[in-house]
A and B are shown apart, each in its own frame.
Chain A
Amino acid sequence: MTDSPTRPPVRQALDLSPAVPAAGARRPKRKKRLRNWLTIGVFTLALVAILFQALTSARVYFYNVDEAVRDREAIGSTTFRIQGTVVTEPQTDAQGVISFIIAFNDVETRVRHIGDEPTDLFELGMPVVAEGRWDGAEFESSQLLIKHSETYVEDNGDRPAVGDGTYEVEPE
């Protein structure tokens, strides 16, 4: 720790006002204030933008399968996200369309995914979040995201690679 800097002996009340007041001295102060407000404004705008994006996105964040099936008529052809666990082995046809059934709370629906290929984690037993819309009784998905669980299991090489080890699923 440094010693405190030596203070000059106080002989009289210190007058620190400028010896010669600068002409137009108010301008730099206004500039300073403007710069400060601009800085605050930029960060406030960034926060508002993030919250706006999140809230408008969250409106469709996801329905579970049972809720989506129950509210099918109300949802209509609106784009939304649906969550469920893959309960049948996914099948890919010649056009690259992936078909499978997802379930939640014992309610099932068939999903036809037409879009980017999902990650390697996509398989029977994994929970997925699909974004798309109802096409009759089926869900047509354009984006398929994998929702891995919070459980981490070591891969010892001698276990069946079904799901993440936390979902008991009987293959069809």
Chain B
Amino acid sequence: MTSSGVGLKFIATPLHTGSTGSRALGVLTLLAVGALLLFALVLSPPEISQGDAVRLFYVHVPSAIVSLYVAFGITLLGSVIYLRKQSVFWDLMAGAAAEVGVVFLGFTLLSGMLWGKPTWGTYWQWDPRQTSTAVSFVLYLGYLAVRKLDMDPTARSRRAAFLGIVSFFNLFIVRFSVQWWRGLHQGTTLNPLDMQMANIMLFTFFLGLLTMTLIFFWLLLHRFRVAWLEHQLAEISLEAAIAERRDEDDPGSSPALAAKGIS
């Protein structure tokens, strides 16, 4: 198994999860959150029939897009690369993206329920879009559970990678559910050829998308670095255990232990 990432090793840091880059990203994210709050809650107008409930659109839809396409897209990419190259970097990246993606998808489901009550009149219906999204949520929770199974790490990573690839196909069902089946959920608003939203409302949506994307990458960076450090620690512990074991046979002969200050 190789630890190499394809030219992206700079993302992993040696001793902590923060760096100049991540702090700059954090500041940018905070600024974006402030701007989003200003536009979503103050500057954008109410919608003609939904009134102020429309303001949930600016976080609900962006969090759905970021989780379903960005986060789980990275999980798919990481899983494919892991299966091809056995790269620990991409295995950990796939897991970290899925973890943050599940948080975003949970927020999507929750904000959708909160939006559904004042508009539809119910928190939950077994609507095709809601159901397929819930299926995705459970699939990726299952993916994370597989990553925690108590078994050989290589076999576990391979199984998780298969599940990471298979789970992505449900996203097509989520995407087209409003066209394939009848349901309560509205159709596509953000069709590039026929936008169903304009002016400041559309701008606020894109600001929401940018903000959610920044939050996602900030979280992903830190989660990945924690995972990478855990992996490094596990490798060092294994090396130490091997050296210790060798030392049982030949006491005092382990330069690795001595180098690490382990006695």
Q: Which residues of A contact B (CB under 8 A)?
A: 1-2, 4-9, 14, 16, 19, 32, 35-36, 39-40, 42-44, 46-47, 50-51, 53-54, 57-58, 61-62, 83, 116, 118-123, 126, 129, 143-156, 159, 161, 163-165
Contact = CB atoms under 8 A, between A and B. Distances in A.
B192 interface: no
Contacts of A149: 186-187, 196
A118 B48 contact: no
Given A54-B131, A119-B120, A147-B186, 5 more contacts: A6-B239, A43-B142, A151-B197, A152-B50, A152-B197
Contacts of B182: 61-62, 83
A164 B184 contact: no
A57 B119 contact: no
B126 A54 contact: yes
A133 B139 CA distance: 36
A47 to B, nearest CB: 5
B153 interface: no
Contact of B255 (A9, A16, A122, A145): A9
B12 A1 contact: yes
Given A58-B128, A152-B201, A121 B14 contact: no
Interface in B134-177: 134-135, 138-139, 141-142, 145-146, 148-151
The A contact surface, by secondary structure, is loop
Contacts of B131: 50-51, 53-54
A91 B48 CA distance: 22
B49 interface: yes
A154 B51 CA distance: 9
A36 B200 contact: no
A154 B150 contact: no
B17 interface: no
Interface stretch (B71-79, B216-224, B243-251): B243-251
Nearest to A123: B49
Contact of A153 (B12, B48, B125, B150): B48
A23 B103 CA distance: 43
Count class of interface residues, chain B? 35 or more
Contact of A1 (B10, B50, B54, B239): B10
A154 B120 contact: no
A121 B138 contact: no
The 6 closest A-B pairs by CB, nearest first: A57-B126, A43-B142, A8-B256, A54-B131, A164-B49, A150-B186
Given A154-B47, A165-B49, A1 B186 contact: no
A58 B126 contact: yes
Nearest to A7: B239
B254 interface: yes
Nearest to A157: B45
B228 to A, nearest CB: 9
A3 to B, nearest CB: 9
Given A7-B239, A32-B151, A50-B131, A154 B118 contact: no
Contacts of A8: 239, 242-243, 246, 254-256
Given A32-B150, A36-B149, A150-B186, A155 B254 contact: no
A2 B3 CA distance: 11
Contacts of A57: 125-126
Nearest to A18: B245
A148 B186 contact: yes
Interface in B191-217: 196-201
B198 to A, nearest CB: 8
29 contacts: A1-B12, A5-B235, A5-B236, A6-B239, A16-B242, A36-B151, A40-B146, A50-B135, A53-B126, A54-B131, A57-B125, A58-B181, A61-B127, A61-B182, A118-B121, A121-B50, A143-B122, A145-B184, A146-B121, A147-B120, A150-B196, A152-B47, A152-B196, A153-B49, A154-B48, A154-B201, A155-B46, A161-B49, A165-B49
